């Protein structure tokens, strides 16, 4: 090969090498430029978000009046402020602090409002960014810390077992509604789980239907939810859920207040719930009559089916107040879903207590004033000797599931309702 051709080849190789180096340099420069454009921090001006929220709802002359606040926060302002105060005093996450530069962080109002909006509207975490000025991850932290705080601070008071006083009031209400001995109604609700793991779908879904998680609840006439058992997979029916539920644990183990009531001349010691037809024929459940024959059975079926709707109404109000429960659950973690449901029920009961006097309810003042002799009486349970516990547990469980007592109670209720209220209908 001649020296001239060798020199030309070397020049060509040098040109190719330069082009490769230039392209590589341009790619690196472009990548660095894109990385610089993607900011890790966004200045949202959180102080302006707090000021706007304060002026809209919490100043002396707010932009939006009380009925707007009630609709958007699902509760009255005084109740919301009680929650904010409790969380800011007891939960470090909701305490406003200064960062390393001395700048104040998000206020408790911003954090609680973000959580309430997500619960009330079932919206995505970044939907509150523009108004409250906090990012998606912060909004999710607000939601989960809010639910934890609500359960910790208010759970024992607003999701409690009925005390002796509560039970007596429920029995008085039941008696005015034609059912002496009745303390509420029980049923199950399904919450769809959109992000259920694929490996669990067969456990939580019927065939091609959506995966769901079951809530068993007991509700009274004023929509207060006295019992909530959440977590069983959606493939279970009401009876299977009942087998897992702790709803009768206090009665079986002798921790519940003792009571006694009279129906049609017969004495009974267990209060009962109104249910639909799927529940077993226990002494603590009273179902309607499927094909009522005669005026007595017709009247009983009509009254029972009307009163049993209490728990259905409670489910409807709970879903209307907190759309996050109505919409499919988007969280992957089942424990977080359970906390959201529990917090929503506690908030629901707090709202019921706060607004109970604002709507019509059954008047039981005649019982409180002593003008009418009660057919039911509640006594505080006394301690039993330890060696008798097993005997009482076994006997209580046997009596609670006694079909004979169930049949007798149902006959007595049919006669009681007909004798007292047959002329009215």
pLDDT band at 384 (very low <50, low <70, confident <90, very high): very low
Q: What is the mean pLDDT of residues 386-396?
A: 57
| Confidence check: pLDDT of 298 > 60 | yes
Q: How far apart are CA 27 and CA 17, in angstroms?
A: 16
Q: What is the pLDDT of residues 156-192, one digit of tens each?
A: 999 998 988 999 999 999 998 899 999 999 999 999 9
pLDDT band at 392 (very low <50, low <70, confident <90, very high): very low
Eight-class DSSP state of 264: T
- H helix intervals, 356-386: 365-368
| Confidence check: pLDDT of 307 > 60 | yes
Q: What is the pLDDT of residues 32-75, one digit of tens each?
A: 665 555 557 788 889 999 999 999 999 999 999 999 999 999 99
Eight-class DSSP state of 55: I
pLDDT band at 367 (very low <50, low <70, confident <90, very high): low
| 100: Cβ contacts below 8 Å, ≥ 6 apart | none
Look at residue 330 and give its three-state secondary structure. coil
Q: How far apart are CA 257 and CA 165, in angstroms?
A: 10
Q: What is the pLDDT of residues 113-166, one digit of tens each?
A: 999 999 999 999 899 999 999 999 999 999 999 999 999 999 999 999 898 899
Look at residue 261 and give its three-state secondary structure. strand
pLDDT band at 361 (very low <50, low <70, confident <90, very high): low
Phi-psi bin for 178: left (phi > 0), alpha (psi -120 to 50), beta?
A: left
Q: What is the mean pLDDT of residues 233-255?
A: 89
Query: Domain ranges in the chain?
Result: 1-37, 46-157, 164-421
Highest mean pLDDT among 38-42, 338-342, 364-368: 338-342
| Confidence check: pLDDT of 315 > 90 | yes
Percentage of the chain with pLDDT > 90? 63
Q: What per-residue confidence (pLDDT) applies to 364? A: 59
The phi, psi pair for 230, rounded to 5°, reads -120, 140
**Residue owning tokens 């706007």:** 52
The phi, psi pair for 308, rounded to 5°, reads -65, -15
Q: What is the pLDDT of residues 200-242, one digit of tens each?
A: 999 999 877 899 999 999 999 999 999 999 999 999 999 999 9
Q: What per-residue confidence (pLDDT) applies to 37? A: 55
* Residues listed for the chain: 425
Tokens (6 digits) for 198: 């694929």
CA atoms within 13 Å, Cβ hemisphere of 199: 1
How confident is the prediction for the chain on average, in pLDDT? Answer: 86
Q: How far apart are CA 136 and CA 219, in angstroms?
A: 35
Q: What is the pLDDT of residues 2-32, one digit of tens each?
A: 555 555 666 665 665 566 666 666 666 666 6
- H helix intervals, 234-279: 238-244, 249-252
Q: What per-residue confidence (pLDDT) applies to 383? A: 45
């Amino acid at each position: 090969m001649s020296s001239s051709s060798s020199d030309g080849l070397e020049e060509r190789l040098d040109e190719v090498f330069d082009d490769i180096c230039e392209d590589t340099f341009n790619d690196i420069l472009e990548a660095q430029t894109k990385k610089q454009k993607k900011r890790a921090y966004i200045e949202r001006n959180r102080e302006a978000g707090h000021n706007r929220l304060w002026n809209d709802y919490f100043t002396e002359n707010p932009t939006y009046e009380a009925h707007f606040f009630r609709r958007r926060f699902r509760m009255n302002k005084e109740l919301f402020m009680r929650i904010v105060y409790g969380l800011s005093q007891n939960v470090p996450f909701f305490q406003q602090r200064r960062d390393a530069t001395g700048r104040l962080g998000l206020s408790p109002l911003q954090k609680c409002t973000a959580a309430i909006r997500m619960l009330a509207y079932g919206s995505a975490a970044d939907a509150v960014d523009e108004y409250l000025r906090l990012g998606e991850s912060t909004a999710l932290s607000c939601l989960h810390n809010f639910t934890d705080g609500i359960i910790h601070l208010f759970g024992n008071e607003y999701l409690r077992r009925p005390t002796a006083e509560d039970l007596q009031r429920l029995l008085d209400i039941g008696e005015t509604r034609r059912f002496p001995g009745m303390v509420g109604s029980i049923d199950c609700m399904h919450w769809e789980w959109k992000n259920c793991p694929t490996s669990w779908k067969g456990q939580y879904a019927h065939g091609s239907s959506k995966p769901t998680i079951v809530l068993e609840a007991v509700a009274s006439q004023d929509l207060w939810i006295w019992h909530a058992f959440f977590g069983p997979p959606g493939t279970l029916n009401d009876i299977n859920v009942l087998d897992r539920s702790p709803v009768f644990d206090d009665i079986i183990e002798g921790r519940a207040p003792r009571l006694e009531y009279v129906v049609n001349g017969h004495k009974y010691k267990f209060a009962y719930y109104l249910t639909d037809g799927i529940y077993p024929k226990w002494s603590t459940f009273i179902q309607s009559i499927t094909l009522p024959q005669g005026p007595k059975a017709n009247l009983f079926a009509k009254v029972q089916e009307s009163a049993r709707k209490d728990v259905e109404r409670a489910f409807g109000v709970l879903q209307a107040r907190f759309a996050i429960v109505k919409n499919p659950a988007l969280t992957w973690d089942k424990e977080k879903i359970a906390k959201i449901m529990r917090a929503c029920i506690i908030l629901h009961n707090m709202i019921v207590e706060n607004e109970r006097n604002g709507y019509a309810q059954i008047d039981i003042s005649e019982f409180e004033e002593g003008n009418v002799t009660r057919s039911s009486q509640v006594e505080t349970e006394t301690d039993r000797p330890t060696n008798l516990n097993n005997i009482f547990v076994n006997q209580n469980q046997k009596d609670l599931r006694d079909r004979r007592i169930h049949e007798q109670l149902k006959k007595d209720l049919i006669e009681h309702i007909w004798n007292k209220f047959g002329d009215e209908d």
